[in-house]
Amino acid sequence: MAIRNPDMILIDVDGTLIDSAPDIAFCVDGMMARLGLPARGEAKVRLWVGNGAELLLKRALTGRMDGDPDRQLYERAAPIFFDLYAQNVSTRSRLYAGVEEGLAFLRGGGYRLGAVTNKPERFTLPLLAQMGVRDCFEIVVSGDSLPEKKPHPMPLLHAADALGIAPEYALMLGDSKNDVEAARAAGFQIVCVSYGYNHGEDIRAARPDAVIDSLTELAALLTQAA
């Protein structure tokens, strides 16, 4: 499908801009150790991230994608994880290769930019700042900024409304089927990166408008756009 040149681009954070799984896995395993439970390891955590902190912790505690742990166990675990993550939000995380170049192209091209993530705001803003990319975005919508989060379209439509951009002139850039579903429901175009966190599934199966291997490919993709 041909991409139309947008006025605004909203970008997912975890798995698209930043590889945050090493820090998240460190904190999950630290939480498990304090609870006297077995470590899960980074490989499993990479499959579990992307739907917000509550689901991540449920998956970690049960070891299943659709797990539902004992409520008392969850209530013991959550403060431990959040305390650990507050201290380790960017210790091991890194920008993906090509992100700095891609963001520089978008800013130089005059695109309106926003970040939309399911990560809680108290972790999102420090992470973006510590990775040196917070100032790239006019608006940041986190997982607890609104009553709904992706794959609901509300975060995307909220950002578009805040920046005064109609959905048909907007594009979402993400890494997961949540991003695709949110973009489709909001009337946005959707481009996905081939790396990132999509629960072990090939993002092409979600049928985004385009798939790129690096944000450095945005220049060619958008230059060719109608």
Angle at 68 between CA 67 and CA 71, to 5 degrees: 150
Q: What is the mean pLDDT of residues 76-88?
A: 97
Q: In this predicted structure, what is the pLDDT of residue 50? A: 85
Q: In this predicted structure, what is the pLDDT of residue 17? A: 98
Q: How far is CA 80 from CA 34, 128, 141, 191, in A?
A: 8, 23, 25, 36
Half-sphere exposure of 91 (CA within 13 A, CB side): 12
In the block, tokens 């049928």 appear at: 207
Let me know whether 186 and 82 are in one domain: no
- Tell me which of 64, 87, 110 is where a domain ends: 87
Tell me, yes or no, whether 188 lies in a domain: yes
- Tell me which of 63, 87, 111 is where a domain ends: 87
- Alpha-carbon distance of 4 to 203, in angstroms, equals 21
Tell me, yes or no, whether 1 lies in a domain: no
118 contacts 141 by C-beta, under 8 angstroms = no
Longest dimension (CA), the chain: 57
Let me know whether 111 and 135 are in one domain: yes
Let me know whether 130 and 189 are in one domain: yes
| pTM confidence score | 0.95
pLDDT score of 18 more than 90? yes
Let me know whether 57 and 117 are in one domain: no
Whichever domain contains 134, its CATH number is 3.40.50.1000
Task: Mark whether 12 is an active-site residue.
Answer: yes
Q: What is the mean pLDDT of residues 162-191?
A: 98
Let me know whether 165 and 141 are in one domain: yes
- Tell me which of 70, 87, 104 is where a domain ends: 87
151-175 confidence digits (pLDDT tens):
999 999 999 999 999 999 999 999 9
Cis amide leading into 147 (omega within 30): no
Tell me, yes or no, whether 2 lies in a domain: no
Q: What is the mean pLDDT of residues 6-27?
A: 98
Q: In this predicted structure, what is the pLDDT of residue 67? A: 81
Range of the domain at 193: 8-19+93-223
Number of domains observed in the structure of the chain? 2
Q: In this predicted structure, what is the pLDDT of residue 35? A: 98
Let me know whether 113 and 126 are in one domain: yes
Let me know whether 12 and 26 are in one domain: no
DSSP percent split of the chain into helix, strand, coil, nearest 5: 45, 15, 40
Tell how many helices (H) and how many strands (E) occur in the chain. Answer: 9, 8
Q: In this predicted structure, what is the pLDDT of residue 151? A: 97
- Please return the burial class of 163, using the count of CB atoms within 10 Å of its CB with bins 0-12, 13-18 and 19+: middle
13 contacts 124 by C-beta, under 8 angstroms = yes
Let me know whether 100 and 29 are in one domain: no
Which tokens hold the place of 25? Answer: 């896995």
Q: Active-site residue among 7, 12, 23, 179? A: 12
Let me know whether 80 and 128 are in one domain: no
Q: In this predicted structure, what is the pLDDT of residue 52? A: 85
Question: How sure is the predictor about 182, in pLDDT bands with cuts at 50, 70 and 90?
Answer: very high
Question: How sure is the predictor about 226, in pLDDT bands with cuts at 50, 70 and 90?
Answer: low
